[in-house]
A = this chain, B = another copy of it.
Amino acid sequence: MKSPRKQAFLDTIRSRRSIRQYLKDSPKDNEIEEILEAGRWAPSGLNNQPWRFVVVKNKVIKSKLALLTKYARVINGAPIAICIFLDSGSSYNRDKDILAIGACIQNMLLCAHAQGLATCWLGEILNKKDEVSALLDVGLDYELMAVITLGYSDEQLTKSCRKSLKSLILGEY
């Protein structure tokens, strides 16, 4: 028997989409805080919690951030951008720290979606990660891992696709 909690959870995972067009209304501060809170509770090796955040609402700073990616339209159109950094001072193993930050980002995307907000995980901007750090004045100890745009969706629901589970299973013992 499927429990409602379990079913709701799987539905949240499967129905999340990358949203690139947003309404003008901004999420409230407490909504943004809950999304960061979800990220904060991710697991990490040795519980080292190597994630750090910069929240950008200011339109002028956001437009400067947008200039650092070919997906400028997504950042300019979103009311909020959350920049996620790896703190090299907390790092103990680069691969494991990056895995942990992936878990942290996924917590945030899912938490946003569960509360009716939309996100887009932007990676191409990592080509200009040093420029992002300089713009946000975060110092050399912090390396950009992703930017997440956040707001209310102004897109129609779309389908997405994944490889079959069978094709992802290399072996069973």
Contacts and interface: CB of A to CB of B under 8 A. Distances in A.
A3 B33 contact: no
Contact of A168 (B43, B51, B100, B106): B51
B146 A99 contact: yes
A54 interface: yes
A105 B100 CA distance: 9
Interface residues of A, number: 73
A49 interface: yes
Contact of A96 (B14, B111, B123, B136): B123
Interface in A92-106: 93, 95-96, 98-106
A36 B165 contact: yes
B114 A105 contact: no
20 contacts: A3-B116, A5-B114, A8-B9, A9-B9, A9-B110, A10-B114, A13-B41, A13-B111, A40-B162, A40-B163, A43-B121, A47-B160, A47-B161, A47-B162, A61-B173, A98-B98, A102-B106, A103-B109, A107-B110, A136-B170
**Shortest 5 CB-CB contacts between residues of A and residues of B:** A102-B102, A103-B106, A9-B114, A99-B102, A61-B173
